[in-house]
Each structure stands twice: as C-alpha cells, then as structure tokens.
C-alpha cells in the first residue's frame, strides 16, 4: 500500500479539507476472528458487522458506524508479506457536500488520491501521506447506519464518482449525541477512539500534509519540533506525529482510546490484573494519565483520561514522554 514519499502542494487559500475528528482506524491483524474477540472482551467494543469475504470485523460502541476495523493480513487487501499494523486512519467531515467540494478543490491543487469509495452509509476519498500511510476522509450518508450495517455483509460496493453519481447531501448525518454502548464485562470501557500516533520518517512533509491537505490544526508543536499534536475542529488531539529517532520504528505507533474517568481506569487495571494481564506502562502527567497494553499481535493500545488539557499544561510534555501520553 505504500507509495513514494511526496509533499502536499500548498493550497491557494488555506487547508483543503476541514475534518471534524478522527473517526476510526482500520488495523491489519493476523487473525481477524481472534482479534474481534480480544477487542470485545478486553478493549470494550462490540462487533456491529462482519465481512467474511473481506476477512474483516467492524466494531463500535455507537459513537459511529465503526471505531475500529480489523482486517486480516490474509485478506485480499493485504499486500504480499503484509504484517499487522495500520491499514488506514479515517477523518469524519461535516457533510457529503463539503467533502465533495473539498475533494474537487484538492484536485485543482494537484493533490493526488488513491481511490474513492461508496460504503453505503458513507462516501470516502483516500490518499497517501508522505510516508505512505493511507488516509481516508469521509462523510456519512445516512443518520441510521445500523439499518444498513449489522450482522454479516457480503456485497459488491457500487461505483461512486464525487459530484457526478448523485447530488451531494448537505445534511450533517454523523451521529450527534449518540447513546454509547458499554460492554459491561470488558476490561476497558472506551468512550471512543480518540487519536492515533505515527512515527514520521518525513516529519516536516507529514506536518505540512496533515495541516494543509487534511486540514488538522496544530495544538502542540510545529515543523521543527520533535513531535506535534494535531486535531480536527471537533476533536481534542486526533493525531500525534513523532519524529523518527534511533530505536523507533516508523509508521503506526499506537491507537488511543478515551475512557470515562480515572475511577473507571482504575477499575480497568484491576480487571486486567484479574485476567493475568499487565499494562506495558501506566504514566501520569498533569495533562493526562495513560495506560498501554498490547493486543494479540503486539499492537499498542493506549487508554487514557484527560486531566488539565490546557495548552500551557500540554506544553510541559517532553519529547521523551510524548509517545506515552499523546
């Protein structure tokens, strides 16, 4: 899936897209059925639908039509020699009309896209960042995604040409104030997937791409910094970029899930211990407390609760602890 590194041409009038927030991450896993069980029992998301022909499971707590997708490395989407890790990350936009307008403006700015896709409940455009990671921007096309996305789904995806196939909807169809589902017996009780962290080989180009082309706003850091925290206009730190350093592997570092409270995080740690599992770390800072575990493939998952999330408190996070907190 990786493409040659490239930089995003600077838009003529500011950022191209205007995403609300990180909405989901799609991960490659070595066994999607085993992973689906782990992400239910431990991580705390419920499988809402499955695509056995694609060897993929989609999990949500009602926050959106999926917070996580787990795609088997043996599926048709895996490259030769595919390893567990990130397949793509996805950002939610306000409406299909806005998505299509921004997509057409991106084409005018010579920004290249890998493909576009009709997902029934959403329309999506995909591009590669300078390090080759796949990035999706999408708009929900229905308010009742559960009517179309539940159980076993095996079907061909219809063709969608932005601005041609249909008149783009102006409605804001993304879930607003959804009722969140809690898997009571799960170790963790996540409110949502809140961020992903990438170790960037081309840090400056990655920073420009995610701020100019994708349209995330810097919360912390800049092109010259050792790390940066970026967010959509409805997010609270949707993507952290970390400069590649000796001892780090480039690419996906972790996914972060916000939990309900510190008390709930303490309950989770006790439940984790009761199952014979131990966190990789438990780090506290004035801005956030973060706990890390590994999934069956060794992928890092952070569970956190924000404390004092003001810019001046965030500024006290050093490079050495940033990968554990952001």
Return the pLDDT at 2: 41
User: Where do you find CATH 3.10.180.10 in the chain?
Assistant: 21-144, 190-325
Kindly indicate the confidence band of residue 28, based on its pLDDT and cuts at 50, 70 and 90: very high
Over residues 59-69, mean pLDDT: 94
**Overall CATH class of domain 190-325:** alpha beta
Percent of the chain surpassing pLDDT 70: 96
As a whole number of angstroms, the distance between CA 309 and CA 67 comes to: 23
The answer, yes or no, to whether residue 7 has pLDDT greater than 80, is no
Return the pLDDT at 12: 53
CATH number among 3.30.479.30, 3.10.180.10, 3.30.565.10, 3.40.109.10, domain 21-144: 3.10.180.10
Over residues 111-137, mean pLDDT: 96
Return the pLDDT at 61: 93
Return the pLDDT at 158: 85
As a whole number of angstroms, the distance between CA 75 and CA 196 comes to: 23
The number of C-alpha atoms within 13 Å of 137 and in the hemisphere containing its C-beta is: 30
Return the pLDDT at 204: 98
Over residues 163-175, mean pLDDT: 93
Give the residue among 168, 69, 172 at the shortest CA–CA distance from 125. 168
Each residue's pLDDT tens digit, 89-107: 999 999 999 999 999 999 9
What is the length of the chain? 326
Q: Is 317 within 8 Å of 325 (Cβ atoms)?
A: yes
Over residues 16-30, mean pLDDT: 97
Helix (H) or strand (E) holding 34: helix 32-38
The answer, yes or no, to whether residue 8 has pLDDT greater than 80, is no
As a whole number of angstroms, the distance between CA 319 and CA 209 comes to: 22
The pTM for the full model equals 0.94
The number of C-alpha atoms within 13 Å of 319 and in the hemisphere containing its C-beta is: 11
Over residues 27-35, mean pLDDT: 98
Q: Is the dihedral of CA 122, 86, 54, 77 positive or negative?
A: positive
- Residue 97, Cβ density class (10 Å: 0-12 exposed, 13-18 middle, ≥19 buried): middle
Each residue's pLDDT tens digit, 287-306: 999 999 999 999 999 999 99
Return the pLDDT at 9: 47
- Residue 278, Cβ density class (10 Å: 0-12 exposed, 13-18 middle, ≥19 buried): exposed
At 207 the three-state DSSP class reads helix
Helix (H) or strand (E) holding 96: helix 96-108
Lowest mean pLDDT among 167-176, 258-267, 283-292: 167-176
Return the pLDDT at 10: 46
Helix (H) or strand (E) holding 204: helix 203-208
The answer, yes or no, to whether residue 13 has pLDDT greater than 60, is yes
Higher pLDDT, 63 or 289: 289
């Amino acid at each position: 899936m990786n493409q040659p590194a490239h930089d995003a041409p600077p838009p003529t009038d500011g950022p191209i897209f205007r995403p609300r927030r990180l909405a989901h991450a799609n991960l490659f896993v070595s066994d999607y059925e085993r992973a689906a069980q782990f992400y239910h029992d431990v991580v705390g998301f419920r499988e809402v639908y499955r695509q056995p022909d694609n060897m993929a499971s989609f999990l949500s707590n009602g926050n959106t039509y999926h917070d996580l997708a787990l795609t088997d490395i043996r599926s048709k989407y895996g490259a030769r020699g595919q390893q567990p890790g990130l397949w793509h990350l996805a950002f939610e936009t306000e409406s299909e009309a806005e998505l299509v307008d921004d997509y057409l403006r991106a084409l005018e700015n010579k920004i290249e896209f890998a493909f576009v896709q009709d997902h029934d409940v959403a329309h999506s455009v995909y591009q590669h960042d300078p390090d080759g990671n796949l990035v999706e921007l999408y708009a929900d096309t229905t308010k009742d995604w559960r009517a179309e996305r539940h159980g076993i789904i095996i079907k061909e995806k219809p063709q969608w040409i932005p601005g041609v196939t249909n008149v783009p909807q102006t409605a804001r169809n993304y879930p607003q104030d959804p009722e969140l589902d809690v898997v009571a017996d799960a170790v963790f009780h996540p409110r949502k997937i809140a961020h992903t962290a990438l170790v960037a080989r081309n840090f400056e180009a990655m920073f420009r791409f995610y701020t100019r082309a994708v349209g995330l706003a810097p919360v912390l850091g800049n092109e010259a910094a050792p790390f940066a925290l970026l967010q959509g206009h409805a997010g609270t730190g949707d993507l952290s970029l970390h400069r590649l350093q000796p001892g780090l592997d480039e690419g996906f570092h972790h996914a972060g899930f916000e939990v309900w409270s510190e008390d709930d995080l303490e309950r989770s740690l006790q439940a984790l211990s009761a199952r014979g599992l131990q966190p990789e770390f438990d780090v506290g800072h004035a801005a956030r407390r973060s706990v890390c575990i590994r999934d069956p493939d060794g992928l890092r998952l952070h569970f956190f609760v924000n404390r004092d999330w003001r810019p001046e408190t965030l500024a006290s996070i050093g490079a050495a602890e940033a990968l554990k907190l952001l």
